[in-house]
Amino acid sequence: MKTTMTAEELKAKRLALGFCSRNALAKALGVSKYAVEHWEYGRRAVPGWVPRFLQCLEHAQHGWPPESKVD
């Protein structure tokens, strides 16, 4: 799994996950909206934990993990 993310990738992922504002994503991540702004504008590197956290959110939206089937 990729643990680095560019500013453009972060913004695209934020929008794809349905976070219309940086503030909404900041609340989900437990950081300030200014942190998200700095990451999206490329002023600071996106921390390695952010892509992993966003992947967890993405899987949760898609019903991950799949339910196991009992025969």
CATH number reported for the structural domain that contains residue 37 in this entry? 1.10.260
Report the pLDDT value the prediction gives residue 69, as an integer from 0 to 100: 41
Report the pLDDT value the prediction gives residue 67, as an integer from 0 to 100: 53
Outline where DSSP puts E strands in the chain.
none
Enter the pTM of the model: 0.80
Query: Has residue 65 got a pLDDT over 90?
Result: no
Domain carrying residue 33: 7-61
**Residue 63: which region, alpha, beta or left (left: phi > 0; alpha: psi -120 to 50)?**
left
Report the pLDDT value the prediction gives residue 71, as an integer from 0 to 100: 40
> Taking a C-beta distance cutoff of 8 angstroms, is the pair 16, 61 a contact?
no
Residue 67: inside a domain = no
CA distance 68 to 63: 12
pLDDT digits (tens, 9 = 90+) for 5-63: 999 999 999 999 999 999 999 999 999 999 999 999 999 999 999 999 999 988 887 76
Residue 23: inside a domain = yes
